[in-house]
Amino acid sequence: MKSFSRDIAIDLGTANTLVYVSGQGIVVNEPTVIAINKEKGTVLAMGHEAFRMIGRTPGYIVAERPLRRGGITDFEVTERFIRLLLDLVGVRKRLPRPRVLICVPTAITEVEKRAVQEAAVAAGARAAYLIEQPVAASIGAGLPIHEPTGNLIVDVGGGTSEMAVMSMGGIVVSKAIRVGGFDIDDAITRYIRKEYAIVVGERTAEQIKMAIGSAFPMAEEEKAEIRGRDLASGLPKVVHITSEEIREAIADPVSQIVEAVISALSETPPELGQDILSRGVALTGGGGLLKGIDVRLSEECDVPVHLTERPLECVALGAGKCLEAFSSLKDLFISTGRS
C-alpha cells in the first residue's frame, strides 16, 4: 500500500528536530529551541533563529528547549513548537489533512506521549502516531530488523542515550538513560569553572566538545582557546585547554553511556548476542560524532562498532521509510490508545 503523498514524520529530538515529508525527504532540520516573549506570551522565533538567542536576550524574552533529558519540560511550549513545525510545512493548507508520525525518546511517560499526539492533532494532523527513536533509527540505518537476527542500535542524542536489540520486527532488549550530548556539555562547563574559574555558556561548551572532545586517547592530542567570564573579576578572560583535560572532564557521562551499552548486551539472549558479535553495533545520533566513542565502545564491549552513514538524520530517515511503507511497518508504532 502506498502512503498518502502528504504524510509527515517528525524526529522530535532534545537537541534538533527534523521533519520528513513523504515524497520529498527531509525538509526541516532545526534546533529544538523556541523563543517566547513572556510578557506578551508571543513566539518570537524558533529553530536556528531562536538558538542564536540563547544567553543573549533580555529577561522578558526566554529562548528555551521544550525537551530536556528526553522528557517534556513544558507541555504548552512543546505544543506550540509542534504547531510551528507543521505550519512551516503547510499542514493547515493541505487537504486531505496528513497523518503525522512522531519519533519520541523511549524515556518519556505515557502522559507525555499523549500530549505529543494531541499537540499534533491540534496543529492540523488528521491522525498522529508515535514511534520510538531507536526503532526508527534502526530502519534508517538499514538494519534487517525483520529478520531472525540480532541487531543492536545505539542512539546517543542530546538528552538521552538509547539502546535497542531488535529481531523479527520487535524490540528484544531496550535501555534508555537520561544522559547525552547536553550532559557532556555540562560536564565541560563545570570543569572549566572549577579548574580555571571562568564561566562559559552551553554553546561555547558544545563548540569545545566538537573541536577537541574525545572519548578515547587521540593519535595527536589538541588544544583550544576558550574565552569566558572570570569568576573573580567578572571581566573577559582567555585560557587554553587540552583535549586530555576535556576527556577527563567528560569521563563520567561517557562512562554511563558505555555502561548502558554493556548492560544491554549482557541482557541479550545468547543467540542474538552471537549475531551482534559478528555484525557489530550500529552507532547513531549526534553524540555518535564524539571523537573516539566508537573505539571506546568497541574496546569495552568487545564488539565491532560502526557509525551509521547519516547519524544526525538516521531517525528521521527511518520514520520516512515507515511513511512510505505505512501498512507493513505500522506494527512498530507505539500503542497509546488513540490515533
Q: What is the pLDDT along the chain (339 residues), one digit of tens a residue?
A: 344 457 999 998 889 999 999 989 999 999 999 999 988 888 899 999 998 888 788 888 888 888 877 777 777 888 888 888 888 888 766 668 889 999 988 877 888 888 888 888 888 888 999 999 999 999 999 999 999 999 999 999 998 999 999 999 888 999 999 999 999 999 999 999 999 999 998 889 999 999 999 999 999 999 999 999 999 999 999 999 999 999 999 999 999 999 999 999 999 999 999 999 999 999 999 999 999 999 999 999 999 999 999 999 999 999 999 998 888 888 889 876 554
> Do 146 and 275 contact (CB within 8 A), yes or no?
no
- How far is Cα 185 from Cα 249, in angstroms, rounded to an integer? 10
Shared domain check, 205 and 84: no
Residue 78 lies in a domain: yes
Residues 167 and 86 in one domain: no
Q: Are residues 56 and 170 in the same domain?
A: no
**Are residues 319 and 279 part of one domain?**
no
Q: Answer whether residue 2 is part of any domain.
A: no
In a domain, 143, yes or no: no
Q: What is the maximal distance between C-alpha atoms in the chain?
A: 67
How many CB atoms lie under 10 A from the CB of residue 159?
23
Considering the domain architecture, whether residues 267 and 322 belong to the same structural domain is answered as no
Amino acid identity for residue 254 in this structure: V
In a domain, 22, yes or no: yes
Dihedral angle computed from the Cα positions of residues 75, 77, 83 and 89, in that order, rounded to the nearest 10 degrees: -130
Model pLDDT, residue 93:
67
CATH number of the domain that residue 112 is part of = 3.30.420.40
Cβ distance 20 to 323 under 8 Å?
yes
In a domain, 339, yes or no: no
Q: Does residue 215 share a domain with residue 181?
A: yes
Q: Does residue 293 share a domain with residue 319?
A: no
Which cell goes with 10?
Answer: 517528525
Same domain, 177 and 39: no
Rounded to two decimals, the pTM is: 0.89
- Are 199 and 131 members of one domain? no
Are 59 and 155 within one domain? no
- Could you tell me if 220 and 122 lie in one domain? no
Number of domains in the chain: 2
> Is residue 154 located within the same domain as residue 125?
no
Q: How far apart are CA 286 and CA 320, in angstroms?
A: 19
Q: Is 277 exposed, middle or buried (0-12, 13-18, 19+ CB in 10 A)?
A: middle
Among candidate residues 151, 80, 138, 79, the one with its CA nearest the CA of residue 106: 138
Residue 185's Cβ-count burial label (10 Å; 0-12, 13-18, 19+) is buried
What is the extent of the structural domain holding 80? Answer: 8-135+314-332
**Cα distance between residue 62 and residue 85, in whole Å:** 19
Phi then psi for 207, rounded to 5 degrees? Answer: -65, -40
Q: Is residue 338 part of a domain?
A: no
